């Protein structure tokens, strides 16, 4: 069986940048492995969230940001994509409020990245808030292994990804969660 494995908030295994990244890491970090580690483990789909900062385009999740730029991270993926198919979804991380210029910024970022990283198969461009598809992608199966207790997570507002990944393992769910050749299974903490 061919497992197509992807990671959710893929760049959060990288080092964070700044005090806010340290404070918000428990609420934002969804991976314990760097992009390089994930590539070596065979991950073929990356969920990369970006925002523009003074340092350029960086990977982010909420208030957490990577120390490396998105260029550094995508260059690493692009090298491996010369030898095997790698898919990347780009999401513009506008965490709090949609601004009128967000759509233009996202399209600009997506076009720039697609032009520069030719080996990567970009499969989607999205804006986080409100969730807006800028360009389509391939089917994705997000494995919600803890669905029966996910309601508590939403009601108590406990967005701590590592806790939910551990609950996933405690209940004995497979790392792969089952997949087929037409879709990708997305996981936290691969």
Superfamily grouping for domain 5-144+175-187:
Phosphatidylinositol (PI) phosphodiesterase (3.20.20.190)
**What does the pLDDT look like over 125-177, one tens digit per residue?**
777 665 566 665 554 444 433 334 444 444 444 455 666 555 555 544 433 34
Where residue 74 falls among pLDDT bands split at 50, 70, 90? very high
Burial of 129 from C-beta contacts in 10 A (0-12 / 13-18 / 19+)? middle
Quick check: 100 pLDDT over 70?
yes
Mean pLDDT: which of 16-30, 97-111, 170-184 is highest?
Answer: 16-30
| SS (HEC) of 89-106 | EEEECCCCCCCCCHHHHH
């Amino acid at each position: 069986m061919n497992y197509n494995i992807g990671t959710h908030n893929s760049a959060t295994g990288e080092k964070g940048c700044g005090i806010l990244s340290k404070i918000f890491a428990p609420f934002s970090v969804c991976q314990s492995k760097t992009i390089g580690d994930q590539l070596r483990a065979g991950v073929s789909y990356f969920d990369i969230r970006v925002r523009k900062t003074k340092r350029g385009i960086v990977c982010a999740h909420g208030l957490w940001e990577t120390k490396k730029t998105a260029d550094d991270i995508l260059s690493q993926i692009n090298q491996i994509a010369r030898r095997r198919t790698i898919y990347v979804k780009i999401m513009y991380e506008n965490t709090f409020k949609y601004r009128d210029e967000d759509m233009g910024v996202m399209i600009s970022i997506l076009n720039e990245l697609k032009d520069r990283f030719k080996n990567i198969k970009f499969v989607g461009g999205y804006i986080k808030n409100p969730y807006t598809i800028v360009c389509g992608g391939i089917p994705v199966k997000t494995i919600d292994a803890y669905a029966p207790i996910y309601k508590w997570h939403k009601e108590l507002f406990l967005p701590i990804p590592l806790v939910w990944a551990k609950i996933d393992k405690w209940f004995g769910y497979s790392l792969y969660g089952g997949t087929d050749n037409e879709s990708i299974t997305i996981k936290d903490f691969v």
